[in-house]
Structure 1
Amino acid sequence: VADVCEVHHELRQFVVKEAPPTVFYIPDFISEEEEAYLLQQVYQSPRTKWTQLSGRRLQNWGGLPHPKGMLAEKIPDWLEKYCERISSLGAFSGKTANHVLVNEYKQGEGIMPHEDGPLYHPTVTTISLGSHTLLDFYRPISSQGAAGPQTEESRYLLSLLLKPRSLLILQDEMYQHLLHGIQPCSQDTLTDRVVNLSSAGALPGETLPRGTRVSLTIRHVPKVMKAKLILGRK
């Protein structure tokens, strides 16, 4: 489990204390100019880089994570800069991020509750561009016979408001034990279950219309294969 002590002292002021361990939420991690530049780079990427999924489309940079190891590809400079910047905060326990997923969510699109799995260092970092979203967290379906049906609603715990230009870092219980997802809706009404309202500069009762959001999910894949190894085995 990542120790908060490993994280750069700069980060500690951004801990969301109302959430289980460990959430860092940094508003305005990047400037409006950087946001515009990153969006421009995302949309200038070759069309072949996009994969269409139900409810969103994405670009994969750095390689395809695989249990045997990721065949690493060079990350373009416009993303590499942010991999290094986030890694320098100690987010990956001294290692450098080597994988970026770019997700585009249009208004009304979302993603089912899921966990990120064992192929990554147990930390996920996300820069939001273009629009806010609410990231919802759920307890996993319990194997002990829980009383009553285990619906998404009954397992729902809390939400985080991710504003454009913010950086979110999830570790420990928030990363390893809880599922996270985004409801497919076109606006969000904020309640007191959104635990980072004050650090996100928002108020309960506010309704925020969603636009198109592009997220940069920046992670470290520990297991990397050298291309020569794979080619040599054919």
Structure 2
Amino acid sequence: MYMTTMANPCNIAADLNKCIVKEAPPTIYYVPNFITEAEEEYLLQQVCRAPKPKWTQLSGRRLQNWGGLPNPKGMLAEKLPDWLLKYTEKISALGAFAGKTANHVLVNEYKPGEGIMPHEDGPLYHPTVTTISLGSHTLLDFYKPVCQTQSETPQTEESRYMLSLLVQRRSLLILQDDMYKFYLHGIHGVCEDVLSENVVNLSSTGAQVCNTLLRSTRVSLTIRHVPKVIRTNLLLGKK
């Protein structure tokens, strides 16, 4: 079992303490039924009603970007629509962003059989990422990074695999500390998931080892804080 001491426990709402996944490195919070079925349906409707130009098609998924376009120099923030603002404020009120307010939402749509390669979200965002899942579950897999000093043994995705999380519809997932900064996460492009003992949060989901879960279309709302561009006189073209 991993040690799961929080880096800044005073910044997290007390109710979240009981949602820590103790079987993973620091720090994962998993909150089942964070939203209601009615809220889920409403959010899915809003995602579907977004203008067609809002969608960007990628290999294995498509996405919407709300709040501005992040870049290494910061983000020129745009006002979030009210249907997203309610949830950025709700999550920020939990203390997930250490007193900061979430200002960016990435909406990803995964159809059955679609996924994303193991990756890290990078240093641009506050060292926290939060996700509300709509429409379907998924399995989120975690991997150790490639060791730059190890060259004798091939470092395959399988050999670097650590653990998985069952992320159910209507749940909230919060990644912080090592689980955000150090480990990679990804989703296999499959149509069904067979749960194993490597899924470390089964006790909070009601699912069991060997259960087979069929995927439907999943929409994830990835909510985070992005530093804003500082508007100096130079940026404004003034002397």
TM-score higher than 0.5? yes
Alpha-carbon distance, 1:228 to partner: 8.5
1:6 to 2:49 alignment: no
Hey, what does 2:3 align to over in structure 1?
none
Question: TM-score w.r.t. structure 1 length?
Answer: 0.96
- Structure 2 gap ranges (5+): 1-5
1:27 to 2:46 alignment: no
1:139 to 2:147 alignment: no
Hey, what does 2:110 align to over in structure 1?
105
115-124 vs 217-226, which deviates more?
Answer: 217-226
1:1-234 paired onto structure 2 within 5 Å: 2-145=7-150, 147-226=152-231, 230-232=235-237
| Structure-2 change in CA distance of 1:20 and 1:108 (3 Å) | same
> Which digits, 9 at most, give the CA deviation of each residue in 1:71-110, with x for residues without a partner?
1101000000000000000000011000000000000000
CA distance in 2, matches of 1:92, 1:102: 19
| Structure-2 change in CA distance of 1:72 and 1:227 (3 Å) | farther
Question: Percent of counterpart pairs with the same letter?
Answer: 70
CA distance in 2, matches of 1:3, 1:62: 27
| Structure-2 change in CA distance of 1:145 and 1:221 (3 Å) | same
RMSD: 1.5
Alpha-carbon distance, 1:68 to partner: 1.2
- Structure 1 gap ranges (5+): none
Question: TM-score w.r.t. structure 2 length?
Answer: 0.94
217-226 vs 87-96, which deviates more?
Answer: 217-226
CA distance in 1, matches of 2:7, 2:82: 28
Contact 1:2–1:93 (CA under 8 A) maintained in structure 2? no
Alpha-carbon distance, 1:111 to partner: 0.3
> Which digits, 9 at most, give the CA deviation of each residue in 1:134-182, with x for residues without a partner?
0000000001225511000000000000000000000001000000000
